[in-house]
Amino acid sequence: MSTTQTAVQAEPREEAAHGTRPIAWKFPVTYAALALLSLLVFALFSPAGARTRFQLSTGSDFIAIPVLDLPSRPATWTLGLVLAALAAFAIWRAVQRARTGVWLPVLFGTLFVLAFLVWAGADRNAVIPLVTVLTGALALSVPLIFGAMCGLVGERSGIINIAIEGQLLAGAFLAAVVASVFTSAYAGLFAAPVAGALVAVLLTFFAVKYQVNQIIIGVVLNVLVVGLTSFLFSTVLTQNAELWNARQQLPRLPIPVLSQIPVIGPVLFNQTILVYLMYVIVALLHVFVFKSRWGLRMRAVGEHPKAADTVGINVNRTRVVNTIMAGAIAGLGGAFFTIGQGLAFGKEMSAGQGFIALAAMILGRWNPVGALFAALLFGFSTSIGNVLATIGTPVPSEVLLMLPYIITIFAVAGFVGRVRPPAAEGVPYEK
Protein backbone atom coordinates (compact mmCIF):
# COMPACT_ATOMS: atom_id res chain seq x y z
CA MET A 1 0.00 0.00 0.00
CA SER A 2 1.40 3.39 -1.00
CA THR A 3 2.11 6.26 1.39
CA THR A 4 -0.65 8.31 -0.22
CA GLN A 5 -3.21 5.59 0.39
CA THR A 6 -2.17 5.25 4.01
CA ALA A 7 -2.55 9.02 4.37
CA VAL A 8 -6.24 8.81 3.52
CA GLN A 9 -8.02 7.37 6.51
CA ALA A 10 -11.38 5.65 6.25
CA GLU A 11 -14.31 6.37 8.52
CA PRO A 12 -13.61 5.83 12.23
CA ARG A 13 -13.71 2.16 13.19
CA GLU A 14 -16.59 0.81 15.18
CA GLU A 15 -15.83 -0.21 18.71
CA ALA A 16 -14.26 -3.62 18.72
CA ALA A 17 -16.46 -5.55 21.09
CA HIS A 18 -20.17 -5.73 20.31
CA GLY A 19 -21.12 -6.11 23.94
CA THR A 20 -18.99 -3.22 25.23
CA ARG A 21 -20.46 -0.57 22.95
CA PRO A 22 -22.34 1.98 25.13
CA ILE A 23 -26.08 2.20 24.67
CA ALA A 24 -26.91 5.08 22.30
CA TRP A 25 -30.12 6.60 23.64
CA LYS A 26 -30.16 9.84 21.66
CA PHE A 27 -32.09 8.67 18.62
CA PRO A 28 -34.42 6.17 20.35
CA VAL A 29 -35.47 8.85 22.84
CA THR A 30 -36.02 11.30 19.98
CA TYR A 31 -38.16 8.76 18.14
CA ALA A 32 -40.19 8.14 21.29
CA ALA A 33 -40.73 11.88 21.86
CA LEU A 34 -41.84 12.43 18.27
CA ALA A 35 -44.16 9.40 18.37
CA LEU A 36 -45.69 10.75 21.59
CA LEU A 37 -46.10 14.16 19.94
CA SER A 38 -47.84 12.51 17.01
CA LEU A 39 -50.29 10.67 19.29
CA LEU A 40 -50.97 13.45 21.80
CA VAL A 41 -51.16 16.36 19.35
CA PHE A 42 -51.76 15.19 15.80
CA ALA A 43 -54.14 12.33 16.66
CA LEU A 44 -56.00 13.74 19.68
CA PHE A 45 -56.45 17.23 18.24
CA SER A 46 -57.52 16.24 14.74
CA PRO A 47 -61.13 17.45 14.33
CA ALA A 48 -63.70 14.68 14.41
CA GLY A 49 -65.05 13.97 10.94
CA ALA A 50 -62.39 16.14 9.29
CA ARG A 51 -60.72 15.10 6.06
CA THR A 52 -57.34 15.90 4.53
CA ARG A 53 -56.84 15.96 0.77
CA PHE A 54 -53.58 15.50 -1.15
CA GLN A 55 -53.04 16.25 -4.83
CA LEU A 56 -50.59 13.73 -6.36
CA SER A 57 -50.49 14.58 -10.06
CA THR A 58 -50.55 17.42 -12.58
CA GLY A 59 -52.44 17.87 -15.82
CA SER A 60 -49.47 16.79 -17.98
CA ASP A 61 -48.91 13.39 -16.33
CA PHE A 62 -49.41 10.15 -18.22
CA ILE A 63 -51.82 8.94 -15.56
CA ALA A 64 -54.13 11.27 -13.68
CA ILE A 65 -53.98 10.14 -10.06
CA PRO A 66 -57.18 11.17 -8.23
CA VAL A 67 -56.99 13.39 -5.17
CA LEU A 68 -56.16 11.32 -2.09
CA ASP A 69 -58.91 11.98 0.47
CA LEU A 70 -58.11 10.73 3.99
CA PRO A 71 -60.16 10.82 7.20
CA SER A 72 -57.89 12.95 9.37
CA ARG A 73 -58.37 11.43 12.82
CA PRO A 74 -58.14 7.72 11.83
CA ALA A 75 -55.15 8.48 9.61
CA THR A 76 -53.25 10.33 12.34
CA TRP A 77 -54.01 7.61 14.89
CA THR A 78 -52.77 4.93 12.51
CA LEU A 79 -49.61 6.83 11.69
CA GLY A 80 -49.02 7.64 15.37
CA LEU A 81 -49.27 3.98 16.37
CA VAL A 82 -46.88 2.95 13.59
CA LEU A 83 -44.44 5.63 14.78
CA ALA A 84 -44.75 4.33 18.34
CA ALA A 85 -43.97 0.81 17.11
CA LEU A 86 -40.89 2.07 15.25
CA ALA A 87 -39.75 3.96 18.37
CA ALA A 88 -40.16 0.79 20.46
CA PHE A 89 -38.13 -1.13 17.87
CA ALA A 90 -35.38 1.52 18.04
CA ILE A 91 -35.30 1.28 21.84
CA TRP A 92 -35.09 -2.51 21.67
CA ARG A 93 -32.21 -2.31 19.18
CA ALA A 94 -30.45 0.22 21.41
CA VAL A 95 -30.72 -2.08 24.41
CA GLN A 96 -29.27 -4.85 22.24
CA ARG A 97 -26.47 -2.43 21.33
CA ALA A 98 -27.21 -3.04 17.66
CA ARG A 99 -27.46 -0.57 14.82
CA THR A 100 -30.72 -0.06 12.95
CA GLY A 101 -29.42 1.15 9.59
CA VAL A 102 -30.44 4.10 7.47
CA TRP A 103 -33.92 2.78 6.69
CA LEU A 104 -35.32 3.53 10.16
CA PRO A 105 -34.73 7.31 10.30
CA VAL A 106 -35.84 7.66 6.67
CA LEU A 107 -39.08 5.71 7.25
CA PHE A 108 -39.74 7.36 10.61
CA GLY A 109 -39.16 10.85 9.23
CA THR A 110 -41.42 10.23 6.23
CA LEU A 111 -44.28 8.92 8.36
CA PHE A 112 -43.92 11.73 10.90
CA VAL A 113 -44.06 14.39 8.17
CA LEU A 114 -47.10 12.65 6.68
CA ALA A 115 -48.83 12.64 10.08
CA PHE A 116 -48.04 16.34 10.50
CA LEU A 117 -49.44 17.16 7.05
CA VAL A 118 -52.63 15.17 7.69
CA TRP A 119 -53.17 17.08 10.95
CA ALA A 120 -52.20 20.49 9.53
CA GLY A 121 -54.41 20.12 6.47
CA ALA A 122 -57.51 18.78 8.23
CA ASP A 123 -60.64 20.64 7.06
CA ARG A 124 -58.71 23.58 5.62
CA ASN A 125 -60.93 23.74 2.53
CA ALA A 126 -57.82 23.29 0.45
CA VAL A 127 -55.88 20.49 -1.18
CA ILE A 128 -52.24 20.00 -0.16
CA PRO A 129 -50.33 19.87 -3.47
CA LEU A 130 -47.61 17.31 -2.81
CA VAL A 131 -46.07 17.83 -6.24
CA THR A 132 -45.80 21.56 -5.50
CA VAL A 133 -44.23 20.82 -2.12
CA LEU A 134 -41.64 18.50 -3.66
CA THR A 135 -40.92 20.84 -6.58
CA GLY A 136 -40.46 23.73 -4.17
CA ALA A 137 -38.21 21.59 -1.98
CA LEU A 138 -35.91 20.80 -4.90
CA ALA A 139 -35.86 24.41 -6.07
CA LEU A 140 -35.06 25.76 -2.61
CA SER A 141 -32.32 23.14 -2.24
CA VAL A 142 -30.44 24.06 -5.42
CA PRO A 143 -28.20 26.83 -3.97
CA LEU A 144 -27.73 24.78 -0.81
CA ILE A 145 -26.56 21.75 -2.79
CA PHE A 146 -24.12 23.79 -4.89
CA GLY A 147 -22.85 25.48 -1.72
CA ALA A 148 -22.45 22.17 0.10
CA MET A 149 -20.50 20.71 -2.84
CA CYS A 150 -18.27 23.80 -2.77
CA GLY A 151 -17.56 23.41 0.93
CA LEU A 152 -16.96 19.69 0.54
CA VAL A 153 -14.31 20.06 -2.17
CA GLY A 154 -12.55 22.85 -0.30
CA GLU A 155 -12.53 21.19 3.10
CA ARG A 156 -11.58 17.78 1.71
CA SER A 157 -8.55 19.65 0.32
CA GLY A 158 -7.79 21.22 3.70
CA ILE A 159 -9.24 24.73 3.16
CA ILE A 160 -12.08 25.87 5.42
CA ASN A 161 -14.48 27.84 3.23
CA ILE A 162 -16.64 30.15 5.32
CA ALA A 163 -16.94 32.38 2.24
CA ILE A 164 -19.62 30.24 0.55
CA GLU A 165 -22.17 32.92 1.38
CA GLY A 166 -20.09 35.51 -0.45
CA GLN A 167 -19.53 33.19 -3.41
CA LEU A 168 -23.26 32.54 -3.76
CA LEU A 169 -23.99 36.28 -3.62
CA ALA A 170 -21.23 37.10 -6.11
CA GLY A 171 -22.56 34.47 -8.50
CA ALA A 172 -26.08 35.87 -8.21
CA PHE A 173 -24.83 39.41 -8.86
CA LEU A 174 -22.66 38.70 -11.90
CA ALA A 175 -25.23 36.32 -13.39
CA ALA A 176 -27.91 39.03 -13.17
CA VAL A 177 -25.69 41.78 -14.61
CA VAL A 178 -24.27 39.75 -17.51
CA ALA A 179 -27.65 38.22 -18.34
CA SER A 180 -29.20 41.69 -18.37
CA VAL A 181 -26.49 43.26 -20.54
CA PHE A 182 -26.56 40.47 -23.13
CA THR A 183 -30.32 39.84 -22.68
CA SER A 184 -29.54 36.15 -22.30
CA ALA A 185 -29.91 34.04 -19.17
CA TYR A 186 -27.38 31.59 -20.58
CA ALA A 187 -24.73 34.33 -20.69
CA GLY A 188 -25.38 34.89 -16.99
CA LEU A 189 -25.02 31.16 -16.41
CA PHE A 190 -21.49 31.27 -17.85
CA ALA A 191 -20.59 34.35 -15.79
CA ALA A 192 -21.78 33.07 -12.40
CA PRO A 193 -18.99 30.49 -11.81
CA VAL A 194 -16.42 33.15 -12.71
CA ALA A 195 -17.66 35.33 -9.84
CA GLY A 196 -17.50 32.46 -7.36
CA ALA A 197 -14.01 31.51 -8.57
CA LEU A 198 -12.75 35.09 -8.13
CA VAL A 199 -13.84 35.09 -4.49
CA ALA A 200 -12.09 31.73 -4.08
CA VAL A 201 -8.90 33.23 -5.59
CA LEU A 202 -8.86 35.83 -2.82
CA LEU A 203 -9.50 33.12 -0.24
CA THR A 204 -6.62 30.94 -1.40
CA PHE A 205 -4.29 33.92 -1.90
CA PHE A 206 -4.51 34.92 1.76
CA ALA A 207 -5.01 31.43 3.22
CA VAL A 208 -2.22 29.66 1.31
CA LYS A 209 0.34 32.34 0.43
CA TYR A 210 0.10 34.42 3.63
CA GLN A 211 -1.41 31.73 5.89
CA VAL A 212 -4.10 34.01 7.27
CA ASN A 213 -6.59 32.29 9.55
CA GLN A 214 -9.05 30.73 7.11
CA ILE A 215 -12.15 31.38 9.20
CA ILE A 216 -11.27 35.05 9.58
CA ILE A 217 -10.55 35.55 5.89
CA GLY A 218 -13.79 33.77 5.01
CA VAL A 219 -15.82 36.11 7.21
CA VAL A 220 -13.99 39.13 5.78
CA LEU A 221 -14.71 38.00 2.22
CA ASN A 222 -18.40 37.60 3.03
CA VAL A 223 -18.52 41.15 4.36
CA LEU A 224 -16.53 42.40 1.34
CA VAL A 225 -18.90 40.80 -1.19
CA VAL A 226 -22.00 42.03 0.67
CA GLY A 227 -20.62 45.58 0.80
CA LEU A 228 -19.41 45.62 -2.80
CA THR A 229 -22.60 44.20 -4.32
CA SER A 230 -24.78 46.47 -2.18
CA PHE A 231 -22.76 49.51 -3.26
CA LEU A 232 -22.96 48.61 -6.95
CA PHE A 233 -26.66 47.82 -6.60
CA SER A 234 -27.36 51.25 -5.09
CA THR A 235 -25.14 53.28 -7.43
CA VAL A 236 -25.25 51.44 -10.77
CA LEU A 237 -27.99 48.84 -10.99
CA THR A 238 -30.81 50.98 -9.64
CA GLN A 239 -29.94 53.96 -11.85
CA ASN A 240 -30.33 51.99 -15.08
CA ALA A 241 -32.10 48.77 -14.19
CA GLU A 242 -33.17 48.10 -17.78
CA LEU A 243 -29.55 47.77 -18.81
CA TRP A 244 -27.86 46.35 -15.72
CA ASN A 245 -30.55 44.53 -13.75
CA ALA A 246 -33.37 43.45 -16.05
CA ARG A 247 -34.98 40.11 -15.28
CA GLN A 248 -33.81 37.14 -17.33
CA GLN A 249 -34.85 33.56 -16.65
CA LEU A 250 -33.50 30.19 -17.71
CA PRO A 251 -36.22 28.26 -19.56
CA ARG A 252 -37.47 24.92 -18.33
CA LEU A 253 -36.28 21.98 -20.39
CA PRO A 254 -38.71 19.08 -19.83
CA ILE A 255 -37.25 15.69 -20.67
CA PRO A 256 -39.63 13.83 -22.99
CA VAL A 257 -41.52 10.92 -21.40
CA LEU A 258 -39.70 11.23 -18.04
CA SER A 259 -41.28 14.60 -17.25
CA GLN A 260 -44.75 13.04 -17.56
CA ILE A 261 -44.25 10.36 -14.91
CA PRO A 262 -46.67 11.08 -12.04
CA VAL A 263 -45.18 12.79 -8.96
CA ILE A 264 -41.47 12.42 -9.76
CA GLY A 265 -41.66 13.56 -13.39
CA PRO A 266 -42.61 17.22 -12.79
CA VAL A 267 -40.26 17.37 -9.82
CA LEU A 268 -37.07 15.91 -11.30
CA PHE A 269 -37.37 16.09 -15.07
CA ASN A 270 -39.08 19.41 -15.82
CA GLN A 271 -36.28 21.71 -14.72
CA THR A 272 -33.81 24.26 -16.02
CA ILE A 273 -30.32 23.41 -17.19
CA LEU A 274 -29.02 24.70 -13.86
CA VAL A 275 -30.80 21.91 -11.98
CA TYR A 276 -29.61 19.31 -14.48
CA LEU A 277 -26.05 20.60 -13.98
CA MET A 278 -26.57 20.08 -10.25
CA TYR A 279 -27.45 16.41 -10.87
CA VAL A 280 -24.30 15.97 -12.95
CA ILE A 281 -21.98 17.71 -10.48
CA VAL A 282 -23.21 15.69 -7.50
CA ALA A 283 -22.89 12.43 -9.44
CA LEU A 284 -19.41 13.26 -10.74
CA LEU A 285 -18.16 14.36 -7.33
CA HIS A 286 -19.50 11.20 -5.72
CA VAL A 287 -17.47 9.15 -8.19
CA PHE A 288 -14.36 11.30 -8.43
CA VAL A 289 -13.90 12.05 -4.71
CA PHE A 290 -13.68 8.37 -3.81
CA LYS A 291 -12.84 6.56 -7.06
CA SER A 292 -10.29 8.68 -8.92
CA ARG A 293 -6.66 9.76 -8.64
CA TRP A 294 -7.79 13.37 -8.29
CA GLY A 295 -10.03 12.44 -5.37
CA LEU A 296 -7.30 10.40 -3.72
CA ARG A 297 -4.86 13.30 -3.94
CA MET A 298 -7.47 15.75 -2.70
CA ARG A 299 -8.26 13.64 0.35
CA ALA A 300 -4.55 13.05 0.95
CA VAL A 301 -3.71 16.76 1.18
CA GLY A 302 -6.72 17.25 3.44
CA GLU A 303 -5.85 14.38 5.78
CA HIS A 304 -2.06 14.17 5.84
CA PRO A 305 -0.37 16.79 3.63
CA LYS A 306 3.15 15.87 4.72
CA ALA A 307 2.69 12.28 3.57
CA ALA A 308 1.19 13.52 0.31
CA ASP A 309 4.18 15.81 -0.21
CA THR A 310 6.63 12.94 0.25
CA VAL A 311 5.14 11.10 -2.76
CA GLY A 312 5.39 14.14 -5.01
CA ILE A 313 1.99 15.81 -4.64
CA ASN A 314 2.18 19.60 -4.64
CA VAL A 315 0.00 20.22 -1.59
CA ASN A 316 -0.57 23.95 -1.88
CA ARG A 317 -1.17 23.88 -5.63
CA THR A 318 -3.71 21.09 -5.16
CA ARG A 319 -5.48 23.10 -2.47
CA VAL A 320 -5.54 26.27 -4.58
CA VAL A 321 -6.87 24.58 -7.73
CA ASN A 322 -9.53 22.61 -5.88
CA THR A 323 -10.72 25.60 -3.85
CA ILE A 324 -11.03 27.78 -6.96
CA MET A 325 -12.98 25.01 -8.70
CA ALA A 326 -15.19 24.77 -5.61
CA GLY A 327 -15.78 28.52 -5.77
CA ALA A 328 -16.98 28.14 -9.35
CA ILE A 329 -19.47 25.51 -8.18
CA ALA A 330 -20.79 27.91 -5.53
CA GLY A 331 -21.07 30.64 -8.15
CA LEU A 332 -23.37 28.38 -10.18
CA GLY A 333 -25.52 27.99 -7.08
CA GLY A 334 -25.74 31.75 -6.75
CA ALA A 335 -27.10 32.01 -10.28
CA PHE A 336 -30.25 30.29 -9.05
CA PHE A 337 -31.22 33.36 -7.00
CA THR A 338 -31.45 35.51 -10.13
CA ILE A 339 -31.60 33.84 -13.54
CA GLY A 340 -32.72 30.53 -12.04
CA GLN A 341 -35.91 32.16 -10.73
CA GLY A 342 -36.23 35.03 -13.17
CA LEU A 343 -35.51 37.67 -10.53
CA ALA A 344 -33.50 40.87 -10.61
CA PHE A 345 -30.58 41.14 -8.20
CA GLY A 346 -31.37 42.44 -4.70
CA LYS A 347 -29.23 43.33 -1.74
CA GLU A 348 -28.07 40.31 0.32
CA MET A 349 -30.48 38.06 -1.55
CA SER A 350 -28.48 34.94 -0.59
CA ALA A 351 -29.96 35.48 2.91
CA GLY A 352 -27.62 33.19 4.84
CA GLN A 353 -27.95 30.23 2.50
CA GLY A 354 -24.18 29.77 2.44
CA PHE A 355 -24.12 29.01 6.15
CA ILE A 356 -27.00 26.56 5.82
CA ALA A 357 -25.00 24.91 3.01
CA LEU A 358 -22.11 24.49 5.45
CA ALA A 359 -24.48 22.83 7.92
CA ALA A 360 -25.69 20.51 5.13
CA MET A 361 -22.10 19.57 4.37
CA ILE A 362 -21.48 18.72 8.05
CA LEU A 363 -24.77 16.84 8.33
CA GLY A 364 -23.76 14.90 5.21
CA ARG A 365 -20.38 14.04 6.74
CA TRP A 366 -18.34 15.57 3.90
CA ASN A 367 -19.90 13.10 1.46
CA PRO A 368 -21.57 14.35 -1.77
CA VAL A 369 -24.62 12.11 -1.46
CA GLY A 370 -24.99 12.79 2.27
CA ALA A 371 -24.71 16.55 1.70
CA LEU A 372 -27.27 16.27 -1.12
CA PHE A 373 -29.90 14.67 1.13
CA ALA A 374 -29.13 17.08 3.98
CA ALA A 375 -29.67 20.06 1.66
CA LEU A 376 -32.90 18.49 0.38
CA LEU A 377 -34.03 18.19 4.01
CA PHE A 378 -33.53 21.92 4.54
CA GLY A 379 -35.30 22.74 1.28
CA PHE A 380 -38.19 20.42 2.11
CA SER A 381 -38.74 22.01 5.51
CA THR A 382 -38.85 25.47 3.92
CA SER A 383 -41.21 24.31 1.17
CA ILE A 384 -43.62 22.77 3.69
CA GLY A 385 -43.65 26.02 5.63
CA ASN A 386 -44.42 28.05 2.52
CA VAL A 387 -47.26 25.78 1.34
CA LEU A 388 -48.90 25.39 4.73
CA ALA A 389 -48.72 29.14 5.32
CA THR A 390 -50.82 29.66 2.18
CA ILE A 391 -53.54 27.12 3.01
CA GLY A 392 -53.72 27.95 6.71
CA THR A 393 -52.57 25.73 9.56
CA PRO A 394 -52.73 25.58 13.37
CA VAL A 395 -48.97 26.14 13.48
CA PRO A 396 -47.96 29.83 13.45
CA SER A 397 -46.26 30.84 10.21
CA GLU A 398 -43.25 32.13 12.16
CA VAL A 399 -42.61 28.63 13.53
CA LEU A 400 -42.79 27.17 10.03
CA LEU A 401 -40.26 29.72 8.76
CA MET A 402 -37.94 28.75 11.63
CA LEU A 403 -37.83 25.07 10.63
CA PRO A 404 -34.70 25.09 8.40
CA TYR A 405 -32.76 27.17 10.93
CA ILE A 406 -33.77 24.87 13.81
CA ILE A 407 -32.53 21.91 11.78
CA THR A 408 -29.30 23.81 11.07
CA ILE A 409 -28.72 24.43 14.79
CA PHE A 410 -29.23 20.76 15.62
CA ALA A 411 -26.91 19.75 12.79
CA VAL A 412 -23.98 21.97 13.74
CA ALA A 413 -24.50 21.18 17.45
CA GLY A 414 -23.63 17.55 16.75
CA PHE A 415 -27.09 16.06 17.15
CA VAL A 416 -26.45 13.82 14.15
CA GLY A 417 -23.62 12.15 16.01
CA ARG A 418 -19.89 12.55 16.08
CA VAL A 419 -18.51 13.68 12.74
CA ARG A 420 -14.84 13.88 11.89
CA PRO A 421 -13.68 16.61 9.52
CA PRO A 422 -10.52 16.16 7.43
CA ALA A 423 -7.57 16.04 9.82
CA ALA A 424 -5.59 18.87 8.20
CA GLU A 425 -8.57 21.13 7.62
CA GLY A 426 -7.63 24.76 8.22
CA VAL A 427 -3.96 23.97 8.88
CA PRO A 428 -1.55 25.83 6.55
CA TYR A 429 1.18 23.68 5.00
CA GLU A 430 4.80 24.69 4.67
CA LYS A 431 7.15 22.44 2.76
pLDDT by residue (tens digit) across 379-429?
A: 888 888 888 777 777 777 677 777 777 766 766 665 566 677 888 888 888
Dihedral angle over CA of 383, 384, 388, 393, nearest 10: -150
pLDDT of residue 9: 44
**Phi-psi sector, 49: left (phi>0), alpha (psi -120 to 50), beta:** left
Q: Is the pLDDT of residue 14 over 60?
A: no
What is the Cα 48 distance to its own chain's centre?
38
Bigger pLDDT: 281 vs 65: 281
pLDDT of residue 413: 62
Mean pLDDT of the chain: 86
pLDDT of residue 247: 92
Q: Residue 16 — very low, low, confident or very high, per pLDDT cuts 50/70/90?
A: very low
pLDDT of residue 411: 60
The stretch 187-191 carries a mean pLDDT of 95
**Measured distance CA(315)–CA(431) in Å, rounded:** 9
The stretch 346-357 carries a mean pLDDT of 90
Write the single-letter amino acid at 290: F
pLDDT of residue 328: 96
Q: Is the pLDDT of residue 23 over 90?
A: no
Phi, psi of 179 (to 5 degrees): -60, -35
The stretch 261-266 carries a mean pLDDT of 86
Note the pLDDT tens digit of each residue in 73-99: 999 999 999 999 999 999 998 888 888
The neighbour count for residue 226, using CB atoms within 10 Å, is 17
Note the pLDDT tens digit of each residue in 269-322: 999 999 999 999 999 999 999 999 999 999 999 999 999 999 989 999 999 999
Asked if 272 and 248 count as a contact pair (C-beta separation under 8 A), the reply is: no
